[in-house]
């Protein structure tokens, strides 16, 4: 895919130079560090509280609080992607280069995914801290991270689409946040329903059910399909949006 | 090199281009002229593949910009109006990125960038943040970007807009040097610029083609409306002598301080030559020496005349109507 690699590199540079990436990573690590600290404190004071679940599983699968920052962080990472280029007019130089809209969209999207991965990387340290004080199941850690990657892929794809739909960065970030939040709320709402199709449907889309499963090593293909399409559909819509600008 | 065929472009219900067809041959430098809002940028955006035509097609070197956009785009170096750039990048960094994006092989990227930095007059600027550059220098970065992949065709949208007179001269000189290796389509609304650097002109107004051809052909499209005369003698006397000449309209003294330059308008432009002869004869009868006679038909005037008229009354249409009568 011609042009993907230079676009990805430039976008990374843009994210780190306008210090969005640094600010986000700092904020994220602060929040996750705090969460990790409370988790450790609760384990060391009352080790029987979460029966049958190690701290690593709890870290990934126990609380939505842990995923809540992503509702804001992902849209802020992606808000610039297209909105800024359209506002400043640089999109004209970009789209008149011999590159396909797909390469443009994927290059930009993958740049934010790289920042996302880098942002999570230091949390591996927490796992080493845990392992030095007790048993830790590394395969569960791996599925836990796979789950977070799936969530990031989906949220960033939604943010990318939002950024292509408006030339205002603020509107892009807000739009994506509201959309992602709606899925969050659905997860909570599921608890208000009795067992039945509505409840299981709502649980299916909830980030908590994905992470609950993955943190316990349960990789369900239906969840995989749902979350991967959650990433692919917005990306496809973004490519079509970029193509549609030509005919506007 | 460029062949536009019946290009139309609608913005919503507004039709910005109406059946625009023109051609640019390999090696030509063509000025693309029109008043504000004529549709110049719209046309160039279609040619560069940024916008799609509502109907019609354009071929770049035989490749349709609608059906084979990637191939067509790879032959074009396009400089958008106002040259938008990433302000957070450095000049050299930006040009390297653009070279890579346009598929310049890794091994020749560095040399390509230093070549265009020299060509566009950006020596010593490669470490400067684009956000810190003046408008003129940003314009040069845009030009360097258009050149970096050595495309056979350059499409430049008002490359001299907003530059100071020295920079304008430099950009014009650069374009004249680029003639050797590139076909160039350059838009502007400054006519002297076209006279200075182009072989041909394409004139549009309100989205329609008004005229095209070599500069001489464009000038010939309009008969002179007046003749400018430099005399030796009394200007007021000369003016009096020209009151009743057949075919001559008003006489004006162009410069009240100099008083040696007169401009005589023609009441019937088709009879310009005979009228000019009568004017000169009349002046010599009253013992006023005629030093210089210049028919006034600058391209500026051609432009003003052609674009001011309603597009339904272009030269061709007028002839047609005459023929029907
Ligand atoms: N994106 C757009 N949406 C709606 N109308 C547009 C758009 N772009 C241009 N137009 C209209 O199309 C017409 C042609 O615009 P264009 O920019 O092509 O003119 P131009 O010849 O380049 O003018 P200038 O000399 O001022 O640069 C104008 O009337 C303009 O208002
Ligand atoms: Mg324009």
Q: Whose CA is nearest to atom 28 of ligand 1?
A: B37
Q: Where are the beta strands (DSSP E) in A154-223?
A: none
- Mutating to test ligand 1, I would choose from B33, B42, B190 the residue with most ligand atoms within 8 A of its C-beta, which is B42
**pLDDT computed for residue B210 by the predictor:** 86
- Chain A environment of B100 (Cβ under 8 Å): 5-6
Average pLDDT over residues A35-63: 69
Of the residues B86, B92, B152, the best mutation for testing chain A's interface (the one with the most A CB atoms within 10 Å of its CB) is B86
Q: Whose CA is nearest to atom 7 of ligand 1?
A: B11
Residues with CB under 5 Å of ion ligand 2 are B 40-41, 81
Residue of B191, B153, B223 whose CA lies nearest to B1:
B153
Q: Give distance in angstroms: CA of B278 to centre of ligand 2.
A: 45
Nearest Cα of chain B lies from the Cα of A96 at a distance, in angstroms, of 6
Cβ partners under 8 Å of residue A217, min gap 6: A137, A139, A140, A143
Hunting for tokens 């301080």 — which residue is that?
B257
| pLDDT band of B317, cuts 50, 70, 90 | very low
* Nearest CB partner across the interface for B102, out of A17, A89, A97: A97
Ligand at minimal distance from the CA of A247 is: 1
Q: Are B122 and B140 in contact (CB under 8 A)?
A: yes
pTM value? Answer: 0.84
- Chain A environment of B89 (Cβ under 8 Å): 10, 13, 17
Q: Which position has the higher pLDDT, A26 or B273?
A: A26
Beta strand B208-214 with B226-232 is: unpaired
CB contact under 8 A, A93 and B100: no
Q: Which position has the higher pLDDT, A110 or B219?
A: A110
Q: For A180-233, how does the pLDDT look when each residue is reduced to its tens digit (9 = 90+)?
A: 988 878 777 777 777 777 777 777 777 777 777 887 778 888 888 888 999 999
Please provide residue B5's backbone torsions phi and psi, each rounded to the nearest 5 degrees. Answer: -125, 110
| pLDDT band of A46, cuts 50, 70, 90 | low
CB contact under 8 A, B84 and A93: yes
CA-to-CA distance for B153 and B175, rounded, in angstroms? 12
Nearest Cα of chain A lies from the Cα of B95 at a distance, in angstroms, of 12
Which residues partner with B208 through β-bridges? Answer: B205
Give yes or no for A244 touching B (CB within 8 A): no
Q: Whose CA is nearest to atom 24 of ligand 1?
A: B36
- Mutating to test ligand 1, I would choose from B7, B10, B16 the residue with most ligand atoms within 8 A of its C-beta, which is B16
Residue of A231, A176, A207, A209 whose CA lies nearest to A68:
A207
Give the dihedral sign, CA B173/B176/B177/B178.
positive
Average pLDDT over residues A94-107: 96
CB contact under 8 A, A98 and B82: no
Task: Say yes or no to pLDDT of A113 above 60.
Answer: yes
The complex scores an ipTM of: 0.88
- Chain B environment of A246 (Cβ under 8 Å): 49-52
**pLDDT computed for residue A197 by the predictor:** 77
Q: For B161-190, how does the pLDDT look when each residue is reduced to its tens digit (9 = 90+)?
A: 878 888 888 888 888 888 888 999 999 888
**pLDDT computed for residue B2 by the predictor:** 93
Q: Where are the beta strands (DSSP E) in B254-325?
A: 261-266, 289-296
Q: Measuring CA to CA, how many Å separate B303 from each of B31, B44, B193, B204, B325?
A: 12, 20, 13, 10, 28
Q: Are A176 and A159 in contact (CB under 8 A)?
A: yes
Domains of chain B (ranges, CATH numbers):
2-213 (3.40.50.300), 226-296 (3.30.70.920)
Q: Which of B6-10, B261-265, B301-305 has the lowest mean pLDDT?
A: B301-305
Q: Does B144 contact ligand 1 (Cβ within 6 A)?
A: no
Residue of B202, B175, B250, B171 whose CA lies nearest to B44:
B202
Hunting for tokens 């970065």 — which residue is that?
B141
Q: Give distance in angstroms: CA of B36 to centre of ligand 2.
A: 7
**pLDDT computed for residue B322 by the predictor:** 40
Which residues partner with B23 through β-bridges? Answer: B3
Task: Say yes or no to pLDDT of A75 above 60.
Answer: yes
Residue B281 neighbours by CB distance under 10 Å: 11
Q: Are B184 and B156 in contact (CB under 8 A)?
A: yes
Q: Give distance in angstroms: CA of B19 to centre of ligand 1.
A: 16
Q: Does B36 contact ligand 1 (Cβ within 6 A)?
A: yes
CA-to-CA distance for B58 and B26, rounded, in angstroms? 15
Q: Does B288 contact ligand 1 (Cβ within 6 A)?
A: no
- Chain B environment of A81 (Cβ under 8 Å): none
Average pLDDT over residues A133-160: 88
CB contact under 8 A, A97 and B73: yes
Q: Which of A12-26, A150-164, A180-194 has the lowest mean pLDDT?
A: A180-194
Q: Which of A12-16, B117-121, B145-149 ranks highest by mean pLDDT? A: B145-149
How does the average pLDDT of chain A come out, rounded?
Answer: 86
Cβ partners under 8 Å of residue A117, min gap 6: A149, A152
Task: Say yes or no to pLDDT of B247 above 60.
Answer: yes
Cβ partners under 8 Å of residue B81, min gap 6: B41, B157, B158, B161
CB contact under 8 A, A246 and B84: no
Which residues partner with B79 through β-bridges? Answer: B156
Q: Are A66 and A28 in contact (CB under 8 A)?
A: no
Q: Give distance in angstroms: CA of B157 to centre of ligand 1.
A: 13
A239 sits in which H/E element: helix A221-245
Q: Measuring CA to CA, how many Å separate B239 from each of B279, B282, B296?
A: 11, 11, 18
Structure tokens at B80: 């958008």
Q: Which position has the higher pLDDT, B17 or A49?
A: B17
Q: Does B37 contact ligand 1 (Cβ within 6 A)?
A: yes
In chain A, pLDDT over 90 holds for what percent of residues? 42
**pLDDT computed for residue B92 by the predictor:** 95
Q: Whose CA is nearest to atom 29 of ligand 1?
A: B37
| pLDDT band of B300, cuts 50, 70, 90 | low
Q: For B137-162, how does the pLDDT look when each residue is reduced to its tens digit (9 = 90+)?
A: 999 999 999 999 999 999 999 998 87
Task: Say yes or no to pLDDT of A154 above 80.
Answer: yes
Q: Which position has the higher pLDDT, A218 or B315?
A: A218
Structure tokens at A221: 């293909």
**pLDDT computed for residue A233 by the predictor:** 96
**pLDDT computed for residue B251 by the predictor:** 84
């Amino acid at each position: 895919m011609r042009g993907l690699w230079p676009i990805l590199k430039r976008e990374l540079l843009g994210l780190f130079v306008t210090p969005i990436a640094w600010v986000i990573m700092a904020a994220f690590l602060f929040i996750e560090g705090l969460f990790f600290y409370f988790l450790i404190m609760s384990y060391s004071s009352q080790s029987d509280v979460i029966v049958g679940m190690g701290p690593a599983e709890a870290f990934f699968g126990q609380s939505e609080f842990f995923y809540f920052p992503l509702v804001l962080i992902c849209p802020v990472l992606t808000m610039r992607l297209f909105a800024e280029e359209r506002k400043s007019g640089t999109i004209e130089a970009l789209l008149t280069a011999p590159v396909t809209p797909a390469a443009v969209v994927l290059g930009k999207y993958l740049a934010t995914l790289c920042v996302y991965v880098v942002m999570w990387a230091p949390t591996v340290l927490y796992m080493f801290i845990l392992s030095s004080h007790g048993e830790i199941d590394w395969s569960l850690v791996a599925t836990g991270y796979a789950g977070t990657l799936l969530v990031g892929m989906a949220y960033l794809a939604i943010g990318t689409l939002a950024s292509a739909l408006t030339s205002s960065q603020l509107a892009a970030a807000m739009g994506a946040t509201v959309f992602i939040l709606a899925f969050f709320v659905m997860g909570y709402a599921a608890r208000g329903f009795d067992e039945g199709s509505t409840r299981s449907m709502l649980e299916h889309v909830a980030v908590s059910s994905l992470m609950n499963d993955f943190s316990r090593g349960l990789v369900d293909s239906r969840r995989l399909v749902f979350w991967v399409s959650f990433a692919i559909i917005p990306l496809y819509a973004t490519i079509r949006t970029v193509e549609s600008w030509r005919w506007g | 090199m460029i062949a536009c065929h019946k290009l139309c472009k609608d913005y919503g219900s507004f039709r910005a281009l109406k059946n625009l067809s023109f051609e640019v041959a390999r090696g030509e430098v063509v000025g693309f002229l029109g008043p504000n809002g004529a549709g110049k940028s719209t046309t160039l955006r279609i040619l560069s593949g940024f916008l799609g035509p509502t109907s019609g097609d354009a071929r770049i070197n035989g490749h349709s910009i609608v059906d084979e956009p990637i191939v067509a785009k790879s032959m074009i170096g396009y400089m958008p109006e106002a040259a938008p750039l990433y302000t957070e990048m450095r000049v050299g960094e930006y040009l390297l990125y653009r070279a890579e994006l346009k598929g310049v092989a890794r091994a020749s990227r560095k040399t390509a960038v230093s070549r265009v930095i020299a060509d566009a007059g950006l020596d010593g600027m490669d470490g400067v943040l684009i956000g810190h550059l003046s408008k003129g220098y940003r314009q040069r970065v845009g030009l360097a970007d258009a050149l970096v992949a050595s495309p056979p065709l350059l499409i430049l949208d008002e490359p001299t807009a907003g530059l100071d007179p020295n920079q304008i001269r430099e950009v014009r000189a650069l374009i004249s040097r680029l003639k050797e290796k590139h076909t160039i389509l350059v838009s502007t609304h400054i006519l002297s610029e076209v006279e200075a650097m182009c072989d041909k002109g394409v004139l549009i107004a309100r989205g329609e083609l008004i005229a095209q051809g070599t500069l001489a052909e464009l000038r010939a499209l309009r008969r002179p409306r007046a003749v400018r005369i430099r005399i030796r003698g009394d200007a007021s006397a000369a003016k009096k002598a020209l009151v009743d000449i057949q075919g001559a309209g008003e006489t004006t003294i162009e410069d009240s301080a100099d008083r040696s330059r007169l401009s005589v308008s023609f009441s019937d432009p088709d009879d310009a030559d005979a009228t000019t002869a009568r004017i000169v004869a009349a002046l010599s009868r009253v013992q006023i020496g005629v030093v210089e006679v210049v028919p006034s038909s600058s391209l500026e005037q051609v432009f003003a005349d052609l674009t001011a008229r309603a597009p339904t009354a272009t030269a061709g249409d007028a002839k047609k109507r005459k023929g029907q009568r």
